[in-house]
Structure 1
Amino acid sequence: MALKNQWVGYISRGYEQIKKSLLSRLGETNPEITDHSESNILVIIIDMFSGIGEQLNYYIDNMARESFISTARRYSSIVKLTRLIDYRIKAAIPASVDLTISLPTEPIFKLQGQDEFFIPAGTKFSTNNGIDFISVADLTINSSGNYKLPLSQKEFVDNAFIGNTTGSFNQSYSLGKDYVHNSLLLSIGGQVWERQETLGRSGPLDKHYIVEVSENKVANIIFGDNINGAVPEGNQEIRGDYYITQGKEGNVNANTIVNTEFVFGDYIDNQDITITNELSAVSGTDYENIERIRRSAPLSLRTLDRAVTKQDFIDIAKLSPGVDKVDLSYKCGEKANIYISPNGGGIAQTALINSTTNYINERRTLNTRIRVLASGESEIYLEISATAKFRRDGISTANDITNALLERYSYENSGINSPIRTSDIIALVDNLEKVDYLSLDKIYLIPYFRSIEHSKTLLKVFKTLQNSNSIIHWELKYYGNNFKLFKERAYEADVNIGEEYIDKGSNFSITINDNNYQDGQTWEFTTYPYNKNIETDDFTVPILKTENLKLSVTEQLIQN
Structure 2
Amino acid sequence: MATDPGIFDYTQRDYDALLVSLLDTAALKLPEWTDRSENDLGRLLLELFAQVGDVLLYYQDRIANEAFLATAVERRSVIDLLGLIGYALSTPAPAAVELTVTARNDTVAPLVVRPAARFATEAAPGRPPTEFSYLPVPPVPLSVPRDGSGGTVTATLTCVNAQQIADETLGTATGDAGQGFRLAQHPVLLPRDPDSQEYLAVEVDAGGGFERWQRRGTLLRSRSADPHYVVRIDAEDNAELVFGDATYGRVPPAGATVRATYLIGGGQRGNVGAGTVTVAKSGVNSPVTVVNRLAASGGAERESIEHARALAPYVFRSGQRAVTATDYAALTENVPGVTRAIAVSPSWNHVDVYVVDSAGAAPTDRLRAQVLTQLSERAMVTTLVSVRQPVFVRIDLAVTVGVEPTYYRDDVRSRVRDALGALFDVERIEFGQSFYLSKIYEAVESRAGVAYAQVTTFAGVRSDPPGEQVDPAAAAAGLIQLQPREFPTAGLLQVKAEGGLA
2:8 maps to what in 1?
8
Whole-angstrom CA distance in 2 between matches of 1:108 and 1:219: 45
Amino acid at match of 1:168: D
Check 1:399–1:23 CA distance in 2 against 1; reply closer, same or farther (3 A cut).
farther
Structure 2 counterpart of 1:281: 296
Secondary structure of 1:187's match?
strand
Tell me how far 1:280 sits from its aligned partner: 3.9
Alpha-carbon contact 1:187-1:239 (below 8 Å) kept:
yes
Considering only aligned residues, what root-mean-square deviation do their CA atoms show, in Å?
3.9
1:63-101 CA distance string (max 9 Å, x none): 011112332222332232233223233334222123346
Change (3 A) 1:204 1:120: same
Q: Which letter does structure 2 place at the counterpart of 1:208?
A: H
In structure 2, give the amino acid aligned to 1:175.
Answer: L
State how 1:512-527 maps to structure 2 within 5 Å: 527=469
Counterpart pick for 1:221 among 237, 241, 246: 241
Which of 171, 176, 179 is 2:188 aligned to?
179
1:440 equivalent to 2:455? Answer: yes
Report what 1:489 is aligned to.
none
Partners of 2:413 and 2:201 in 1: CA distance: 55
- In the alignment, which of 161, 184, 193 is matched to residue 153 of structure 1? 161
Which residue does 2:363 correspond to in 1?
348
C-alpha separation between the residues in 2 aligned to 1:23 and 1:431? 45
Matched residue, 1:162: 170
- The whole-number CA distance in structure 1 between the counterparts of 2:386 and 2:370 is 12
Corresponding residue SS for 2:480: coil
- Shift in alpha-carbon separation, 1:327–1:264, aligned structure 2, 3 A: farther
Does 2:327 align with 1:312? yes
* AA aligned opposite 1:51: Q
Q: Is 1:529 the counterpart of 2:444 in the alignment?
A: no
2:435 is the alignment partner of 1:405: no
CA contact (8 A) 2:182 2:239 kept: yes
Compute the TM-score of the two structures, normalised by the length of structure 2. Answer: 0.78
Contact kept in structure 2, 1:134 and 1:155, CA below 8 Å: no
Q: Give matches, 1:30-429, under 5 Å.
A: 33-100=33-100, 124-128=118-122, 129=129, 131-134=131-134, 136=136, 149-176=157-184, 177-182=186-191, 183-189=199-205, 190-245=210-265, 247-260=267-280, 275-285=290-300, 287-331=302-346, 333-343=348-358, 345-375=360-390, 378-386=393-401, 393=407, 395=409, 401-429=416-444
Count of residues in correspondence between the two structures: 465
Q: In the TM superposition, what whole-angstrom CA distance separates every residue of 1:481-527 from its partner, at most 9, and x where no partner exists?
A: xxxxxxxxxxxxxxxxxxxxxxxxxxx5xxxxxxxxxxxxxxxxx53
The equivalent residue for 1:490 is none
The residue type equivalent to 1:45 in the other structure is: L
Q: TM-score, normalised by structure 1?
A: 0.71
Give the 3-state SS of the residue equivalent to 1:534 in structure 2: strand
On the 8 A contact 1:257/1:275 being kept in 2, the answer is yes
Q: How far is the alpha carbon of 1:528 from its aligned partner? A: 1.0
Q: After TM superposition, give the deviation of residue 124 of structure 1 in Å.
A: 4.3
8 Å CA contact 1:139–1:149 kept in 2: the answer is no
1:102/1:537 Cα in 2 relative to 1: closer, same or farther (>3 Å)?
farther
CA–CA separation in structure 2 for the residues paired with 1:93 and 1:429: 34
Aligned mates of 2:227, 2:38 — CA distance in 1: 70
Alpha-carbon shift at residue 61 of structure 1 (Å): 0.6
Secondary structure at the aligned position of 2:43 is classed as helix
Deviations 1:18-67 (A, max 9, x none): 21233345446655544321011221111111111111110111101111
Partner of 1:491: none
Q: 1:323 to 1:141 in 2, by over 3 A?
A: farther
How far apart are 1:430 and its partner, in Å?
A: 5.3
Q: Please give the alpha-carbon distance, in whole angstroms, between the structure 2 residues aligned to 1:431 and 1:244.
A: 41
Question: What percentage of residue pairs aligned between the two structures are identical?
Answer: 23
Deviations 1:255-297 (A, max 9, x none): 221134576979xxxxxx9632244433334554433433444
Output the amino acid matched with 2:225: L
Question: Which moved further from structure 2: 17-26 or 430-439?
Answer: 430-439
**Residues 376 and 211 (structure 1), Cα distance of their counterparts in 2 relative to 1, 3 Å cut:** farther
Are 2:130 and 2:270, in contact at CA under 8 Å, matched by a contact in 1?
no
Does the CA contact (< 8 Å) of 2:417 and 2:493 recur in 1? no
Is the 1:75–1:215 contact (alpha carbons within 8 Å) kept by the matching residues of 2?
yes
Distance in 2 (alpha carbons) for counterparts of 1:311 and 1:140: 46
Q: Using a 3 Å threshold, how does the CA distance of structure 1 residues 130 and 248 change in structure 2: closer, same or farther?
A: closer
Amino acid at match of 2:368: I
Deviates more, 1:38-47 or 1:254-263: 254-263
Pair 1:178–1:59, CA change in 2 (3 A) = closer
Residue identity in the other structure for 2:51: G
How far residue 385 of structure 1 moved from its aligned partner, in angstroms, is 4.3
Distance 1:352 1:59, change over 3 A: same
Q: CA separation of 1:553/1:73 partners in 2, compared to 1, >3 Å: closer, same or farther?
A: same
Q: Which residue of 2 aligns with 1:542?
A: 488
In 2 relative to 1, CA 527–121 (structure 1 residues): closer, same or farther, beyond 3 Å?
farther
Query: CA–CA distance in 1 between the matches of 2:269 and 2:309?
Result: 24
1:428 to 1:259, Cα distance in 2 relative to 1, 3 A: closer
Q: Which amino acid aligns with 2:480?
A: I
Q: CA deviation at 1:227?
A: 3.1
Distance change >3 Å, CA 99–CA 418, structure 1 → 2: farther
- Cα distance, 1:216 vs structure 2: 3.8
Report the alpha carbon displacement of residue 474 of structure 1 after superposing the two structures with TM: 1.6
Matched letter for residue 134 of structure 1: Y
Match of 2:196 in 1: none
| Offset of residue 248 of structure 1 | 4.7
Instruction: Give the match for residue 194 of structure 2.
Output: none
Tell me, in whole angstroms, the C-alpha distance in 1 between the residues paired with 2:68 and 2:351. 34
Structure 1 pair 441/289, CA: closer, same or farther in 2 (3 Å)? closer
